[in-house]
């Protein structure tokens, strides 16, 4: 857990505009803020056509397009290519943040 916090701290220091404090939810409303962020994410993927809101159950369900694309992105060789690319980006970013190679999986 300490490593994850250190990665977050270094990314925040490297990526945040200087002098801009982090935006924190009001005390006691952290869960509501997270729920609102999740709802925004679901609305974004629904707008992209991956999910649709089921009017009877009030939950998001994958569309045919979304189910196909999500499955295709996991299948060989596309899934392996995407996984390898994501790992390369993560390694590069950790090196840029000053982590030793022994920390980088």
- Radius of gyration in angstroms for the set of CA atoms belonging to the chain, rounded to a whole number: 19
pTM of the model: 0.74
- pLDDT digit string, tens, across residues 54-100: 888 789 999 999 999 999 999 999 999 999 999 999 999 999 999 98
Distance of CA 14 to the CA centre of its chain: 18
| Phi and psi angles of residue 65, each rounded to the nearest 5 degrees, phi first | -60, -50
Q: Where are the domains of the chain?
A: 51-105
- pLDDT digit string, tens, across residues 8-17: 999 998 998 8
What is the spatial distance between Cα 13 and Cα 94, in angstroms, rounded to a whole number? Answer: 13
Q: 93-97: long-range contacts (C-beta < 8 A, 24 or more apart)?
A: 93/11, 94/7, 96/14, 97/7, 97/10, 97/11, 97/14
């Amino acid at each position: 857990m300490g490593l994850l916090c250190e990665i977050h701290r270094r990314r925040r220091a490297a990526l945040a505009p200087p002098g801009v404090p982090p935006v924190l939810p009001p005390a006691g409303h952290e869960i509501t803020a997270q729920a609102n962020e999740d709802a925004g994410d679901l609305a974004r993927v629904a707008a992209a056509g991956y999910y649709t809101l089921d009017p009877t159950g009030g939950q998001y369900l994958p569309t045919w397009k979304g189910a196909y694309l999500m499955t295709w992105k996991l299948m060989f060789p596309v899934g392996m290519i995407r996984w390898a690319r994501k790992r390369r980006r993560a390694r590069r970013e950790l090196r840029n943040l000053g982590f030793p190679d022994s920390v980088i999986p």
